[in-house]
Amino acid sequence: MSNTAHILLVYHSDTGGTLQMIRAAEAGAVEAGGTVGVRVVHAAAAEPGDLLAAAGYVFATPENLAAISGLMKHFFDRTYYAVLDRIAARPYASLICAGSDGSNAARQIQRIATGWRLKPIADPLIVCTHAQTPEAILQPKRIGEADLMRCRELGATLAGGVELGIF
């Protein structure tokens, strides 16, 4: 990565829904970002240095058992104290791929971001797949175009805001 500002998109996806959402956010960020770079990193690979180097963030997770996924939780556990008081005031957004409502997963990310003193640029974007049976929960997801457009717009908003210096 060059010395230009970039945003970091950290995600975890088991059934593809969250991956589709983060790719849409990435596409919007690339389109709107101008000189702002975009970096997508799986939660298992993201490190404190990735957070420190970024000018803003998108955190994307499936809702698992009414919570963020275990790998997203592990990402936050591994990085939280290493960057505490070092990333305050940076902008962030969150994407939740939910089977039912996603609100608890969104609250978990908000609490972590509040501890880091990050600035939300929008309410959590929750896409509900309505998967309720074990078979539906485990099958590959397909996120609709309208929801992908919302993700794309969120990525564009973050990158554009960083580019313009309003975040």
Question: Angle at the Cα of 160 (from 143 to 80), degrees rounded to 5?
Answer: 75
Q: Note the pLDDT tens digit of each residue in 58-91.
A: 999 999 999 999 999 999 999 999 999 999 999 9
* pLDDT score at 125: 98
Q: Note the pLDDT tens digit of each residue in 92-137.
A: 999 999 998 999 999 999 999 999 999 999 999 999 999 999 999 8
Q: Note the pLDDT tens digit of each residue in 4-41.
A: 899 999 999 999 999 999 999 999 999 997 899 999 99
Domain ranges in the chain are: 6-164
Q: Is the pLDDT of residue 2 over 80?
A: no
Q: CATH for 6-164, among 3.40.50.300, 3.40.50.720, 3.40.50.360, 3.30.70.1450? A: 3.40.50.360
Q: Is the pLDDT of residue 1 over 50?
A: no
